[in-house]
Each structure stands twice: as C-alpha cells, then as structure tokens.
Structure 1
Amino acid sequence: MHRMSPSSPADSTPVPRVRGLSRRHALGLGLALGGTLALPLPAALADAGHGSGSVSDLRPRPRSVQGSEHEVVLRGKVTVVIGAETDTAAQEALAEVLQSAGSRVHTVVAGSADDIVAGPRIHLGTPEDNPTIAVQLEAAGVPGPDGLAADGYVLATGRNRGPVVTLAGRDARGTYYAVQTLRQLLAGGWRVPAVHVRDAPRMEIRGAIEGFYGIPWSHQARLDHFAFYGAHKLNTYIYTPKDDLLLRSKWRELYEGEELEKLAELVGTASAHHVSFTYALSPGNDITYGSDEDFEATVTKFEQLRELGVTRFYIALDDIPGELDDADAAQFASLAEAQAHYLTRLQEDYVQAHGLEPLETVPTHYAGSEPSAYKRTFGEQTHPDVRIQWTGEGVFSPEVTEDSVVRAVESYHTDHLFIWDNFPVNDGRRDRLFLNPLEGRAPTLHEHIAGFTSNPMIEPYASLIALANYADYCWDPIVYDAEDSWQAVLDELAGADEKIRHDLRVFVDLNLHWPYRDGSPTAPALSADVEAFWAAYDGGTDGGQELSERLATIVGLEDTLEPMASPGFYADTLPWITAAGHWAEALRAQLEMLRAIVEDRLEDASAAAARVGQHIAAAGEATVPDQRADGVYREDQIVPSVGDGVFETFVSRAWEELRAVLPDDPSLPFRGLPATASTTLGTYQDYAPERMVDGDLATMFWSDAAPEVDDEIRIDLEQIHPITFARIQMAGSDTTAGDQIYEGVLEFSADGTSWSQVGSTDGSSVLEVTLPEAQEVRVARLRVTGKNPGGQWVQVREFGLGETAPAS
C-alpha cells in the first residue's frame, strides 16, 4: 500500500503452545500492565495499596468504575466457581493470575456440593454458562452484563457467605477480559480493591494487520503478539504479510509440513487469547475473477485454514494491476464489477454456507473518501455483509475525521467499513522507527465504522507502543488520551525500574518524527537541549550541561536498556540504540572541540575534531537486516536512522564553527563550489534537489521512484571553473549502499551541450573522481546507464565539485 519491499528465513525453533499470559512470556513480553484512568473515583479507590494495582492503572479505561463496600484478599486457598461451559481460556488465565499472586486455586463446578465454601471465592463465566453469576451480582447489587455490547464484562467485589469476586462476561471473550482486568487490579499483589467495573468496547474490530512488505514477523513474535493483544483487549489479527509467497505469487498452492504446523499453532494460540485469526489471501496479481477454477482454488485454500480453526477470511486486492485479463474483460464491464462478483460468490457459496464470520476485503482503490465509479460499483455489487477496509484520505492518513469517514461510507455504499491504518508501518522507510503515539483519529468514529486494524512496523516488538495506543483508542475513543496512553505503554515495556523508564524515554525521543504528518516533532527533547546549547554558545555563556548529560545517557543506552521488561523491544531496536550511541559520541567530541575553540586551544580543537569522523562512520554502518524483491533475507543491509536529523544538523553547524577558525583542518568535510541542482527524477515528499548542494549532509534529495536509463542528477556552477575533484554522496551513508544510482556515468560539460565522461559508479554509495589535471566545467551530471536492482530509488546527500581535491 505504499513504498515497500520483499520473508524472513524460516523460524524453525519449536515453540510451546501458549495458554494464558506468563509474567515474562516467551522471549518478547515480560510486561507489567499499566496506565491511567481519568475517572472521578472515591478517595479509597485512588490507590489500592498492599502491593496491588491501582484502579487508576486500568487499561483500556473502563466505561464505568464505582466503589463497593468490600475489598477482597486473595491469599491462601481461593475457590473458583465455574460453569460446565465456562470459557477454558478464561479459566486458565485466571488460574495463572491467582498462582502469580501466591494463591492456591481450587476449582469447582456450579451446582456441585462444594460450590459455596469458606474463604475467598471467584465466580467466573457468563450468566448463561454459570448460574451462580446472576446470584452473586444480585447480592452485590450490580447489574449483569446482558445489556453490554459484545466483549463486555462486569467485575464486582462483595461478600456473600465470604469474600467474593464476580467476573461476569457478556460472552466468552468478555469473560476472558474480566480476568485481564483482575490481573491489572492485582498487579502482582493479592488484594482486589473494593470496586465494581462495568465495561464494554465501543468498536467491534480492534487489532493489527500484518500487511507490510519486508521481513515478515517471526513465528515467536506472532505468538507473543497474541498474548499482548489478549492482555490489552485487542481482538483481531489479520495474517497477510506481503512476502508470504503462498498468499500472493503462489496463492493457489497449499501449505504443508512445518509451515502448516506453524499456522495451526498460530490459530490455536490466537484463540487461547481470544484473538480472531483472520487469514487474508492476495490473489489479485494473476486471478481471473470469473473463473470457476480460481474460485475453487480460493475455496480449497480457505478450507485448509478452516480445518485449522480459522473462521474469518479476507481477500486482499491492494497493490495489484488495475486491468482485467482477456477472459474477465469479456465477462465484466469493469475491475470493480469483476471483483464484486468474486467476493459475493465467496460470501454466499463458501462463507455463509459454512456459517463463518462475514468475508473481509480491501479494495484496489482503498484510499480517499470522494465518490468514484470504482467505489460505487464495488460497494453496490459486493454482497452487503462483506466488510470493506479503507486507509483514510491517503495511503498514510495524518488524521481521520468524522466527515471523512461519513463520506467514505457513502462512497463505498457499505454499512461495514473498517480502517486499515498505515501507522506505524515503516516498510517505506525501513531505516526508521516510528515510536510516536497514535494521534489524529476523531473520538466519534465508532459511530460510523466497525473499527481499526493497525499496519505495524517490520519490527514486531517496537510496534507494541502503537498497538497499545490502538487498544486504548478502539476500546473507547471518547476518553482516549494519546499522551497518557503512550506514557503508560512506555512504562509497561520498560518495567518498574525508574532509571530504565527514564532512559527508554530518552531513546524514544530520538524516534518520534512521523514524516506523513506536517509538524510532527523531531526528537523534541534532544532538539530543546541542542537549541539551549547553541543559544548559550552564541551568547558567549557557559551552557550545554543538559545536552552533555543527555548525550552521556544516549551513549549508555545499550547497557541500561538491556534489562528492560520487554527483551523483544530491546532486540528490535538495538541497531538504532547502537547508532544513537555513536552519534552521541560524535557530538561529545564536537562539544569538546567547541569548548577548545572558545578557549583558543586550536590544537586541542583539531584533535577533538579528528575523533568525530570515526564515530560518524560507525553510526553510518548498515546493521539492520532486509529482504527485497528477490525474497532473500540478508543481514546488515540498512543504516538505522535515529535522531530525526538533529544529530546531523548539529554536526554540520559545529563544522562551520571549526571552518571559521581552521579552514584547512583535515577533519572538515569537503564542500563543493556553489551550485544549483536539478534532476529528471520525481521528488519524494519535500526532499527537493536543492538539498544535494546545500553543504549539509543532514539533508538529501530523494526520488519518488526508481530511475530509468538516461535519467540524471545535475548541478550547474553558473560559470566555468577549473575542476579537479568531484564527490557524489548517495544513499543514507558513505559506507553502505542503499537508494542510489547503481549504474551511471559522471559527465562534465563547459556549455551544457557537449559532454565528457570522467567517471562511473561502482555500486558503492560514494562516487569520487580526482582528475590528473583541471578541466573547464560549468555543468556536471550523473547519468543513469542501467536499471537499479530491486527497484531502488535514489538518495543524494551531496553533489560537489572542487577546484582542488580535499586533504586526505
């Protein structure tokens, strides 16, 4: 759905079946659930104490919280009263919660002789599957869950022949969610505060769609995500990684062997956490929509997954050709008509025939709210029960407004719209992490749509920040507070240690800029310290202590964050943590350099400047793996970008201070002659051509597509100069290939008409040419002579010409 690229190597590590959520689940979670509940509560409920969780820490925020007369102490033997049909996953999760609190669990079935015993009791289930639920709620004076929406629940404390906690679900999932709320109230302690909670979500669909290009998540990461979703009351996972070949290019083929076994475990584990595993097939690249054979191939594939327990299916029609093949063109008037025929047939002849959840889809035209012929035909002719996904006004939507959603519902002629939200997905910027909070979604969207699925990042555990925000937002958009939700999940991922919590925020600050939203902050805390430093420096005062302390913290992040509660988050982000440390070391050396300049210790300034380059080079090393169109997983392909450009901008400014006093210092970067830049390539967002001649390696030109033969980048000196040196710095780093011109020739001209070749690219990201004698030059260009591998785009940080070669 955006600029993306190609499945990780097979994860062959056997993983035990997950039941319930352990205190440190597998390799990735280890979460202490937290948050803030901005509801007026009785003073006695503001802090539960006794090692238990606070009512104000419940996440997502409950719809209703009231005080009761009795807290319940769950120590020693605790009797759990269930019904014969009470949800097994909720039972197992409750047993784990109680065992973690140090309780001994004694489970009895309602109606047996010992269902009312001395000591604390927990009554678990729905009023339909456990007849004691209604009795206990009536005794507590609390309405039952019958009037709540699906997934709702009631949690009540009281006394009825002993202390009682009632966990009453509207349905099985609601029962499970009641246990998750109890988990938070206990928070490792053993006292349940005197409280009645009555809660239900405002959105039906709440979850994630693994729909990005690049390295798919590992099997273990998916298992860990399901545990996280269950704990946060997310109920949906859509399986559609673009680089699972059996979803797209080989969609007609069936799974077998280990891959089939893994899918079975994913489906079972998702179910254990009450997450609906949705299987999304992507046949649109070569399907004939009216073909009986392709319909049967689809049904056969779905049937293999249905045998594993899948009850929700999805047809993904995004990022496919917009033309019909000859057979469909002879049968249908348009692409939308052909797709509607295929989807309706699946809904009627397969989904409804097997009593499954309604079919889901994302159309080929999935963005924008304005009417179109495609949207009208697609919506009017597709079966009305089919759920349709939409990305907002754009592929990336900085905001989703109520007016926009209302128009989209009308344009697609559907009563079942839900949103594929391309946040925080980073397959178009694989060098970046997007760790900012979910913002810009109106608080009234639940009145018009079924819900949201987030398209997360390639890094699964780094995506948990945004997914926790989606959990809070989708449960109740009206009370969602982006900053508050974001702070809560940071604490959850960090754990209880205040030093780790602080340092995690220092790191997250370096990854906050979302390039698809105007005004998105760029490392705001670091930027503030940098601005304060330069203000003091320019004013001739001694400043920069805050910046020095922040840089010292960044240098130490690799060690201080390692014991955080989520080891998966640490592992995902380690390349960026390490790169940040190198950048911080470079700035520390420059701070030393700047102090020496102020104190007129120019030899010391030069010595400090000499150390900067090694740290910048280390920060520019490719340490992030990738997988492109050839489907091959490769280590160390991407240079992690961290600090939102603030580090690079500081470095450039500091070099100018050194250049003013030591213009020939060998540590100074090469600066080309003044020039204007142009290109035949299109421009991505605001990465304009002039950025490649601004003398600042922190900025760059970036094309919006791969180059074609004879495309060029060009600079004009505006008058003739005797040139002996040229340097073109492409991609994101001097040391690692990336977006660049892979096959090209460097040509000089004195008049812009007659050209002489002086060099050619060799696959590296820097092209340097030193001539044996000067050549009269006014215009220079790097002209493309062959196509880029994998459709790589082009980045150019600097294109410079010099009358003399820089010092080596």
Structure 2
Amino acid sequence: MTPHASTTPHTSSSVTRRRALGLAAAVGGGIAVASSAAPALAAGDAAGAHAGQPAPAANSTDLPPVRPVPQQVTASGGAVNLAGKVSIIVGPETDDVALETLRELLEDAGASIRVITATSERTTAQGTRIHLGTEADNPTIAPNLTALGADGTKGIDAEGYVLAAGRSKGVLVVLAGADAAGTFYAVQTLRQLLSGGSRVPQVEVRDWPLMSIRGSIEGFYGIPWSHQARLDHFPFYGRHKLNTYIYTPKDDLLLRSKWRDLYEDEALADLRELVETATAHHVHFTYALSPGNDITYGSDEDFAATVTKFDQVRDLGVTSFYIALDDIPTDLNDEDAAQFDSLAAAQAHYLNRLQDEYVKANDLEPLQTVPTEYSGSGPSDYKTAFGSGIDGDVRVQWTGEGVFSPQVTAESAKTAQESYHSEHLYVWDNFPVNDGRRDRIFLNPLEGRDATLHEYFDGFTANPMIEPYASLPSLANYADYCWNPPHYDAEDSFAAALDELAGNDRQVRRALDVFVDLNVHWPYRDGSPKAPALAADVDAYVEAYEAGSQPGREALRTRLNQIVKLPRTLEAMDSQGFVADTKPWMVAASQWAQGLKDQDRMLTALEDGALKKASKAAASAKASFEAATAATVPDQREDGVYKEDQITPSVGDGIFEVFIARAWAELRDVLPDDPSLPFVGLPATASTTLEQYKDYAPALMVDGDESTMFWSARAPKVGDTITLELTTPADVRFVQLKMAKNDDTPADQIYAGDVELSADGEDWTRIGSLSGDAVFTKELAQPVHAGWARVSVTGKNPGGKWVQVREFAISDRLPAKG
C-alpha cells in the first residue's frame, strides 16, 4: 500500500483500477441478482453468531438477498439513499481495490464522490459519509460504528467485516473489515444490498467465513484454461468471496514432465499478470509443482531445483506454494530406496525440507500438498507414515471417500483426520470436473456436503471443468457453501448463479433453465436425474400417442421448439464466455430436438396413413441425428497437442434416444424397409473377460441404444475377449462393432483384435481384424451360420486406454441403404 496525505483523494494505480473494474465485465458479471423465486434474506436470518450461538433477533424487515448468507444480520427498518454527494473516508492503508470497487458501485448509484484520507477520528465531510477500512488503518471506523449503535470488529475472524448503515447527523455507512480482505468483502455485500439501485437498508451485518480456504484448483487433464479465462475468473471469485486459486493444470509441461525448467518470456509475463490480478481481487494464487513422476526425494539437486522454481514465481508475488503428489509412480528409485523405507517417508522428508528451509525461512503461507493416496477415509500404512511424518502445519488435500465423492459426511471427515494425522485437512473436490467424461458438461448444483464440515476441514477447492466459464455456477455454489455451510441452499445458490450469468432478459433466463435440464445428470451419484423436465414431457407424449390423444403431446412440442432455438436465444446471455464454452452442446441439443420434431411429423403422418410424408419426415430426422452425433468438441491428450472436433457432445442423457427408439419402432411396424431406419442386431447376450467400470455393464452393448455403453475397468490384455451369444442361431450377413464415444474419433476401444464367428462356441472363423478405427463393419458375401460372435484382443492398447463398446450387433440381413 502507498501512504496518502490527509488532504488528498485516495487513488490507486491504473493497473489496479483496470483489474477492479474492467475484468469484471469480461465474465458477463455484475453481482448476482437473486432469482425471482429465491427468498430474500430476512433480517436476523443468519448462520448463527460466533461460537455457534444463534444470531440476535431482529425486526421482521425483508432485505435483498445476500450471498454467501451472512452470519448475523440485524435490520432496523427503512433505507438510506446513497445518491447525491458522498464522501468516502478511508485510512492511509485502506485497501485500494475495495475503494475502487466502492467508487464504481456508488457512481452507478448516481453519487458524486469525494475521497478523504483520515488521520484522526474527526474528519470534515459533506453529504453522505461512508467510512471504509479497518479499525487499525482508519481511525474514523470505531467512533462511527458506535454512532450507529454497532459493535466493532474485535473478535471477528480473518476476512470478516461489519457493515452498518443508518443515520447519525445525516446518512452514515461504515464498511469495517477485520483486515483488507474483509474490507473488500464488506463492499461486495453493500453491492448486493443496493440491488442495482441507490437505496441501502438500515442494517447491521456482522459476517465472517467459516472456512478459511475457498476456491478452485485447476487440476484436471485435458485442455488447460486460456490465460484470459483465468484472468476473468478472479473478479468473479472476488465478488463471490472465494479466496483461493491453485495453479496446477496437468498438461502444463513446466509443472510436471519439465518441472525443473524455468519459465521464459511470454509464459513468465502471463504468470506475473495472473498473480497480480488474483492478488488485486484478494485471491491467493497458489503455485503447485508436480515433480513426483521423476523426482529423487532425498536429492539435494532436486530440492535445489524446486527452490529455484519457487523463487522464480515468488519474485512475481506468489506467497503460497504446493507440491502435488497425485497420479504418480508408487515405487521408489534406487537412490531413494537406499535412504527411505517407504514412499511416504521419502515424501515427508522432501516436504519437511521445503516447509522448514523455504516456507518458514521466507515467512510464507504454510506449504500445501495432495498425497499419493488422496481418497478414502480409512487408515493405511501410507497415510499413517505420511501424515505423522510431515510438519503439522502442512495443509493436506483429500478427495473424499472416492476420487469422485457423491457425499462428504462429518463421519468420514473425522475418520480422515485421524487416518491422515492432520489438523489441516481440506478437500480437493472433484466436482464439476469432466476430464473423465469430456463429452459432458455438468450443470447441477453442489450437493451432498454436510453442513458441519467447517468443524473438520480448512476448506474446499473445486476441481472445475475443462470449460472455464461453464464452471462458474458450481464455483458460486462453493462460495456460498464454504462461507456459511449451515445456511447453504443448493438450489437457491445455483439459481442465483444462473441469474447472474444470464443477465436481465427473462427469455434468456428461461432458455437457460431448458439447457440446464439437458445437462443436470452427474454420473457419479446414484439416482442423479437425467433431463427430468424433458423426460417428463417425453413420457407424457408417448402416453398420449398410445391413447390416440393430441393434448398430452403439446408440452414436448413446446420444449422441442425451445431447444431448437437455444443457440440463438442464449447468444444474448451476459456471460459470453459461458456461451462459447457450451456452444457445441447447445448446437447438438438443437439438432437432437429438430430430429424429434421431424419424428413427431413422421408419427402424425403414420397416424394419417400418409406414408410418403412419414418417410420424408424420417429422412429429415435421420439427417438431424447424424448432425447431432458429429464430433465438435476439441481435445488435448497425453501428447499435449490441441485438436479440433475430437469429441461428440453428449446432451440429454439418453432421453432424446428414448423417444427416438419408440418412434423408429412405430415406423418399422409400418415401413420395415424404410432407408432411414437404424440398423438393429439380432437378440443376443454379451459377456467379456474385461472387468466393467462402475455400472457400465456388458448388456449395454446389445441394448440397441448407442447412448449407452459397456466400459471396461482396465486396458485389455492379449487374449481378452468380448463375446455375443445369439438367442437363436442365424445365417449371419452383417457384423458391426461401435467403440469409443463416437464413430469418428478413436479413443477407449480395442485397437488390435480379430472378429470371429462360431456355430458351436468352440471352433471360430475370423471374418476381419480391428485396425484402430472406432467402428468395425463387415458385410459377408456369403452368409455364415453362427450362434456366437467375438472379438479377441491380439495386441496392447496405446497409452493403456480402456475399452468402450456402444453397440456390438450381428444380423441375418444387411442394413437399409439410403
């Protein structure tokens, strides 16, 4: 901070001002405006006073909603106007960004502003008086809180604040932080109380976070976030009172495979800008190095290389450091094996050297880490040796009972604390991360985290999606949850985040709900809904169709029209980043919906006996479905090469396909040879020597639905097989095997294998070989009588890829052409 003379306006650098004002707009921002359906925060509605006591009673005056929900709110009724002449009284060391944010807020409210720096309790000021800062840096804070009948900040935790607004010799507002961050957060609460106007309720807010770590960890595999996306996240974090960003994208080579190399030129300049921007918005930029793939833990050279790398980014302003030990080999090299009796002991030695010789020596924030065993609450030899071996100040991350944790309970938190022997455990939460399902985006609220976890954890960092702006609703959830877990409302928090990203256009907001419905399923939670609104409309349509009724079909027709228009309607969202991130899913949804509209016309024509019209509509539907299944999402794999159009976006979670299958069945009954009909194999049972991953069972490869799949739990070995047994042997003319997630992009599949037929299940005839394509198709010149078909693995998969099979089908007829 720069000292300020008592008679001159308090100013900040142009760089800081740009960070505070300009970048907020890039996210599509402004502060969250509550959904019309969301309840206001009633006076006195709080998470409870400090030490778990109830909040004091207050008058029953409704207030604008504030998120995260404050700990204590007391309203006295009425409001004061902040338009007109306003004097902002600050201290010599008052937070620059808090001041600039307040200035912007008041200008929008119609205020004419004068900034005065106070050096004593008395200050000459005109018009409305707003006192900003901490009691330590601004001597006018304490007496003016007293003038409003409000207590001071003594006893309020770090990052907390007191906001008081009322009248005392005119309009008086005090924004008192427990520290600089608290001052900044007080301004963010004032923004919400103003609700875009100029009047603020007469109120006292006493608030502080229940978790000290609140933010994100960019720790996924795949395309790292762009530099601009990271810059855009930090103003959003500041507005939502998130305070942590951990930089550790798996595909930044200078963090992992080339961790000893230093940054140069543009990469170094980008890091500097990230650190400066994060700091300006009170976000701790944590730099996480991942040396575990080839480090020698006991090596002085590798320790020196770590320190040299840390020194380079510390020169940029980084004060928070992290060693990521996840997803690495568990065997010690020869040099470490001669010195340590276990991996955990070697890692503890290395971490303790960093904590003692670097972190403490330079008065930095405590070292952070994620251990190699990072999930499960139960004890293990590794956890015991690691947790009891490291310095007690080191912060340790944990992902929950699994890599993906549908629930995080107080019981498992307590057990994990004991197993890791850590008083500073916090959660690396693998939500809403989608690097394991890159065809999906997850637009569902954060749920299943107990309301008392602040009693066990220092906090949470969300591992977000590859799509940075599509991750913002979930991050807003984490902001609300981590600040005040007992008063976190998942649905309300999520609706408010969508309101913020959508903007003020009601049509856009309604369309966003339609789009969210198509992406709400989280596959790691049993019972997670699958496009519930669409599913209800499909069910109603099918029931009405079977009854020969029209009215029950209209809801689906209306929804399909909305879905078809999504790419155009959502273009008007405030958050253009969200639009760009999700455009492939919007377009695919539109194409699926257009296909269903075509099938609706087809079914109507069938009812009317207009078979030519039905066939023409079926052809249109087929074209729409082919467009919807095109690969349009980019990807980046182990080679680090960015490639366009690698992944088919998955949207609707199979509900579109439910309607499609029903409609094709109707067409097949009337026009069995229509060229638009998809190929259907003969009834068969599937089995495999490959273990299945979760509930991706072998039966899903013969269910006639390409939206479902078998997924193995490991890479195939030579000799592994996938086998079909026909319900009734037949003269086979056609065999088709569809692997990976789409027809166009090889991914998880069998890369080397023979396709064989057998009449008795013992003697096999090879009819073809797999050659690395996602789809194998074979038309037999002469039919082969068979009761079994199988794929036999003949070679290893590249990169240890697993196997996905969408459909394995054999038939006694060739598919229709056209």
TM-score by length of 2: 0.93
CA 1:18–1:438: 2 relative to 1, 3 Å: farther
2:423 to 415, 419, 427: 415
Aligned partner of 2:633 in structure 1 is 624
1:714 to 723, 727, 739: 723
State how far apart, in whole Å, the 2-side matches of 1:716 and 1:175 are: 70
Aligned partner of 2:9 in structure 1 is none
The 5-angstrom pairing of residues 777-788 of structure 1 reads 777-788=786-797
**2:118 pairs with 1:119:** no
Show CA shifts across 1:652-673 (max 9, x none): 1211122222222222111111
For residue 103 of structure 1, report the CA deviation from its aligned partner: 2.3
Aligned partner of 1:9 in structure 2 is none
Residue type of the alignment partner of 2:735? A
For residue 18 of structure 1, report the CA deviation from its aligned partner: 6.7
**2:32 pairs with 1:33:** yes
CA 1:70–1:665: 2 relative to 1, 3 Å: closer
The 5-angstrom pairing of residues 160-199 of structure 1 reads 160-199=168-207
Aligned partner of 2:237 in structure 1 is 229
CA contact (8 A) 2:399 2:430 kept: yes
Aligned partner of 1:12 in structure 2 is none
Show CA shifts across 1:41-75 (max 9, x none): 399x9999xxxxx8332111111111136633222
CA contact (8 A) 2:98 2:187 kept: yes
1:772 to 763, 774, 781: 781
Residue type of the alignment partner of 1:159? R
More deviation, 466-475/757-766: 757-766
The 5-angstrom pairing of residues 190-339 of structure 1 reads 190-339=198-347
**2:99 pairs with 1:91:** yes
For residue 39 of structure 1, report the CA deviation from its aligned partner: 4.2
**2:436 pairs with 1:428:** yes
CA 1:602–1:123: 2 relative to 1, 3 Å: same
CA contact (8 A) 1:621 1:736 kept: no
2:562 to 528, 532, 553: 553
Residue type of the alignment partner of 2:29? G
State how far apart, in whole Å, the 2-side matches of 1:590 and 1:720 are: 34
Aligned partner of 2:48 in structure 1 is none
CA contact (8 A) 2:756 2:789 kept: yes
CA contact (8 A) 1:398 1:516 kept: yes
For residue 118 of structure 1, report the CA deviation from its aligned partner: 2.0
CA 1:69–1:677: 2 relative to 1, 3 Å: closer
Aligned partner of 1:156 in structure 2 is 164
CA contact (8 A) 1:23 1:31 kept: no
CA 1:78–1:207: 2 relative to 1, 3 Å: same
Residue type of the alignment partner of 2:437? R
Aligned partner of 1:442 in structure 2 is 450
**2:90 pairs with 1:82:** yes
Aligned partner of 2:513 in structure 1 is 505
Q: CA RMSD in A?
A: 2.1
Residue type of the alignment partner of 1:500? V
Show CA shifts across 1:716-739 (max 9, x none): 225542212112222233344443
The 5-angstrom pairing of residues 722-737 of structure 1 reads 722-737=731-746
CA contact (8 A) 1:86 1:125 kept: yes
For residue 778 of structure 1, report the CA deviation from its aligned partner: 2.3
Show CA shifts across 1:486-540 (max 9, x none): 1111111111111111100000000011011000000011111111111212223
For residue 161 of structure 1, report the CA deviation from its aligned partner: 3.2
State how far apart, in whole Å, the 2-side matches of 1:139 and 1:101 are: 25
Q: Determine which structure has greater relative contact order: mean sequence separation of CA pairs < 8 Å that are 6+ residues apart, divided by chain length.
A: 1
State how far apart, in whole Å, the 1-side matches of 2:701 and 2:141 are: 69
Residue type of the alignment partner of 1:29? G
CA 1:331–1:736: 2 relative to 1, 3 Å: closer
CA contact (8 A) 1:743 1:761 kept: yes
CA 1:171–1:387: 2 relative to 1, 3 Å: same
More deviation, 261-270/186-195: 186-195
**2:594 pairs with 1:585:** yes
Count of paired positions: 788
State how far apart, in whole Å, the 2-side matches of 1:146 and 1:587 are: 63
For residue 413 of structure 1, report the CA deviation from its aligned partner: 0.7
CA 1:722–1:537: 2 relative to 1, 3 Å: same
**2:747 pairs with 1:747:** no
CA contact (8 A) 1:140 1:158 kept: yes
2:539 to 531, 537, 557: 531
Show CA shifts across 1:359-414 (max 9, x none): 11111001111111111111111000101110111110000000000000011111
For residue 220 of structure 1, report the CA deviation from its aligned partner: 0.8
**2:495 pairs with 1:487:** yes
CA contact (8 A) 2:17 2:97 kept: no
Equivalent position SS for 2:348? helix
Aligned partner of 1:799 in structure 2 is 808
For residue 750 of structure 1, report the CA deviation from its aligned partner: 2.4
CA contact (8 A) 2:429 2:462 kept: yes
Aligned partner of 1:573 in structure 2 is 582
For residue 782 of structure 1, report the CA deviation from its aligned partner: 2.5
Unpaired runs of at least 5, structure 2:
1-13, 46-57
Residue type of the alignment partner of 1:546? A
State how far apart, in whole Å, the 1-side matches of 2:42 and 2:26 are: 38
2:613 to 593, 596, 604: 604
State how far apart, in whole Å, the 2-side matches of 1:16 and 1:691 are: 56
CA contact (8 A) 1:417 1:450 kept: yes
CA 1:799–1:743: 2 relative to 1, 3 Å: same
Residue type of the alignment partner of 1:615? S
CA contact (8 A) 2:217 2:462 kept: yes
CA 1:27–1:715: 2 relative to 1, 3 Å: same
**2:368 pairs with 1:373:** no
Aligned partner of 2:371 in structure 1 is 363
2:414 to 406, 409, 429: 406
Aligned partner of 1:638 in structure 2 is 647
Show CA shifts across 1:210-254 (max 9, x none): 000001111111111111000000011111111111111111111
State how far apart, in whole Å, the 2-side matches of 1:663 and 1:322 are: 58
CA contact (8 A) 2:77 2:201 kept: no
For residue 112 of structure 1, report the CA deviation from its aligned partner: 7.4
State how far apart, in whole Å, the 2-side matches of 1:193 and 1:38 are: 13
TM-score by length of 1: 0.94
For residue 303 of structure 1, report the CA deviation from its aligned partner: 1.0
CA 1:536–1:24: 2 relative to 1, 3 Å: farther
State how far apart, in whole Å, the 1-side matches of 2:739 and 2:716 are: 14
Equivalent position SS for 2:383? helix
State how far apart, in whole Å, the 2-side matches of 1:362 and 1:735 are: 37
Aligned partner of 1:68 in structure 2 is 76
Equivalent position SS for 2:311? helix
Equivalent position SS for 2:166? strand
Residue type of the alignment partner of 2:658? T
CA contact (8 A) 2:737 2:807 kept: yes
2:353 to 345, 349, 365: 345
Residue type of the alignment partner of 2:472? L
For residue 765 of structure 1, report the CA deviation from its aligned partner: 2.7
State how far apart, in whole Å, the 2-side matches of 1:782 and 1:69 are: 75
Residue type of the alignment partner of 2:455? E
Residue type of the alignment partner of 2:396? I
Task: Report the identity percentage.
Answer: 61
State how far apart, in whole Å, the 2-side matches of 1:227 and 1:157 are: 25
For residue 113 of structure 1, report the CA deviation from its aligned partner: 11
**2:680 pairs with 1:680:** no
